[in-house]
Structure 1
Amino acid sequence: MTEAIDLVVPDAEAMEALGARIAAQLRAGDVVLLNGELGAGKTTLTRGIGSALGARGAVTSPTFVLARTHPTASGVPLVHVDAYRLGSAAELDDLDLDLAGSITVVEWAADKLDGELESWLVLDLVRPLGGDPADDDAPRHVRLAAHGPRWEGVAI
């Protein structure tokens, strides 16, 4: 694991910009795990990733469909997963995602891919305590950590 990076992201626009910054480093086979409570900015960050990748279609939370695949300008699809209702890595595996051929972003990822990946990025997003989850412009605290050989020497 590389050393974790702690950031304060002031608003939704900056969260999307962080997503774009991360997207600049992503390629097929990369998995980004997002953790944080409701309203922490997981989908906003994913929207920034999707925008930077040239994803087709609106990048919205896939809560009720579990996963959405967005074709991108590069030809490497962006797969956006909401794992909130999934109980285990086995249930996530049942979605039959093409992890090797896609860039995959998994919201509510805690404990869903433990031991399943060789390399991944994880972002823990925290909104202010007692804050309104609908307040997109309240600052968020983000801890980004890269794990595995894919991320050795990559500056994010």
Structure 2
Amino acid sequence: MCTPAGRPQRGANMSVLIDQNTLDLISHSEEQTRRFGAYLAPLLKAGDVICLRGELGVGKTRFVQGIAQGLQVEGPVRSPSFTLVWEYMSPAGLKLFHIDLYRLGDAVAESLAIGIEEYLYGDGVCVIEWSERAEPILPADRLTVEMRFIDDYKRGILLRAGGERSRELLTAYRSVVTGHAPASSAPAGRS
């Protein structure tokens, strides 16, 4: 159940906080998947890494489109399956690096060859589809978004924090998505 503005109503049965590092959501449509991405956008800052996992067609690119929408990126946001990386700029000056590792043979070696470390530790937000293919070179502090099919339209979206910054991000995100104040103190101020 959502409010007219598209925000979930308090108490809507769509999220479960498993622990401080894990949040499980249910999306009922492509549009809601986009909105879940858009809710994350204002919380992001340069250096954040978001790792997307899930089968083909589960909605990873829709989630990234939502992040881009929330950052007010202009123009279409497409899957970078054939280009490997799309770079976008928000009006506020925050870069969004959208990376897709699906087509890489040796994803670790090829990711290093394209300079993935410049994106991971660069001056923007790095969102990686098929991130599990390059697991050994990814930073430990990252927000992993695992998407799964429930039915033709419904998707499960499991978010896991892997470090201090991503835990702060997940706490703030839970507050935005559910409309509930975080149980602990608010996330640290952003620079």
TM-score (norm 2): 0.72
What secondary structure, in the 3-state scheme, does the structure 1 residue paired with 2:136 have? coil
Distance 1:37 1:18, change over 3 A: same
Query: Offset at 1:15?
Result: 0.4
Distance 1:149 1:115, change over 3 A: farther
Equivalence for 1:101: 123
What secondary structure, in the 3-state scheme, does the structure 2 residue paired with 1:40 have? coil
Q: Is the 8 A contact 2:38 2:67 kept in 1?
A: yes
Percent of aligned pairs sharing the same letter: 32
Equivalence for 1:73: 91
Q: Is the 8 A contact 2:82 2:103 kept in 1?
A: no
Decide which structure has greater helix share: 2
Q: How many residues align?
A: 149
Distance 1:30 1:4, change over 3 A: same
TM-score (norm 1): 0.87
Query: Offset at 1:20?
Result: 0.9
Higher relative contact order (CA 8 A, sep 6+): 1
Residue of structure 2 aligned with 1:30, choices 30, 43, 48: 48
The runs of 5 or more residues in structure 2 that have no matched partner are 1-18, 174-191
- 92-101 or 35-44, larger mean C-alpha shift: 92-101
Query: Offset at 1:115?
Result: 4.9
What secondary structure, in the 3-state scheme, does the structure 1 residue paired with 2:51 have? strand
What secondary structure, in the 3-state scheme, does the structure 1 residue paired with 2:127 have? strand
CA distance in 1 between counterparts of 2:52 and 2:59 reads: 9
- 93-102 or 41-50, larger mean C-alpha shift: 93-102
What secondary structure, in the 3-state scheme, does the structure 2 residue paired with 1:39 have? coil
Distance 1:4 1:54, change over 3 A: same
Query: Offset at 1:153?
Result: 3.6
CA distance in 2 between counterparts of 1:35 and 1:6 reads: 14
- 37-46 or 108-117, larger mean C-alpha shift: 108-117
1:84-137, Cα deviation, whole Å (9 max, x unpaired) = 0222333212222433211111001114133531411001101136x4xxxxxx
Matched, 1:88 2:107: yes
CA distance in 2 between counterparts of 1:114 and 1:20 reads: 28
Matched, 1:149 2:164: yes
Q: Is the 8 A contact 1:39 1:127 kept in 2?
A: no
User: 1:1-156 maps to which residues of 2 (within 5 A)?
Assistant: 2-86=20-104, 87-96=106-115, 97-99=118-120, 100-128=122-150, 131=152, 138-154=153-169, 155=171, 156=173
**TM superposition outliers: structure 1 runs of 4+ over 3 Å:** none
Query: Offset at 1:73?
Result: 1.4
